[in-house]
């Protein structure tokens, strides 16, 4: 098994826990404040790892296009988190999470359009099943 799969599974497990932890954590708190607290924790955690691993030397390499796209990715992440926490405040996690996971077909489409990544029949069927599953889950 490729090493990236372990990280992807860890990401999925952490994301699943995030929905439940966030749903409990936003009780009685404005969703934007909850997002800001979460973001502060992520910033401290991420910078802590960078410092401990000695990766700050890579800051010199952040120039031009790389920096622009990392900043745009950060803006997209921020918008996603703000909307996610607001949705969790307004609806059950079991309905919000499947819609949030519709980011997969969006990612695949954008990867195809912008990066030229192929979409196989198997991938297309899997995406279709995920979309159908999300629709069925939300409608339940």
pLDDT (mean) for 34-39: 94
Per residue in 17-32, pLDDT tens?
998 999 999 999 999 9
Q: Cα dist. 87→20, 25, 69, 96 in Å? A: 13, 13, 27, 6
Please give the pLDDT value at position 1.
66
Which residue from 23, 12, 21 is spatially nearest to 91, judged by alpha carbons? 23
Mean pLDDT estimate for the chain? 92
Nearest to 131 by CA among 113, 110, 107, 115: 107
Alpha carbon distance 99, 61 (integer Å):
36
């Amino acid at each position: 098994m490729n090493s990236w799969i372990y990280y992807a599974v860890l990401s999925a497990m952490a994301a699943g826990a995030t929905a439940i932890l966030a749903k409990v954590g936003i009780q009685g708190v404005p969703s934007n404040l909850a997002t800001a607290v979460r973001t502060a924790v992520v910033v401290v955690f991420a910078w802590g790892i960078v410092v401990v691993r000695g990766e700050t030397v890579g800051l010199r390499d952040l120039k031009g296009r790389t920096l622009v796209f990392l900043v745009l990715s950060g803006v997209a992440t921020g918008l996603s988190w703000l909307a996610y926490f607001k949705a969790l405040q307004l609806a059950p996690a079991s309905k919000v999470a499947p819609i949030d996971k519709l980011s997969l077909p969006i990612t695949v489409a954008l990867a195809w359009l912008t990066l030229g990544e192929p979409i196989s029949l198997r991938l297309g069927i899997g995406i279709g099943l995920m979309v159908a599953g999300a629709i069925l889950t939300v409608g339940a």
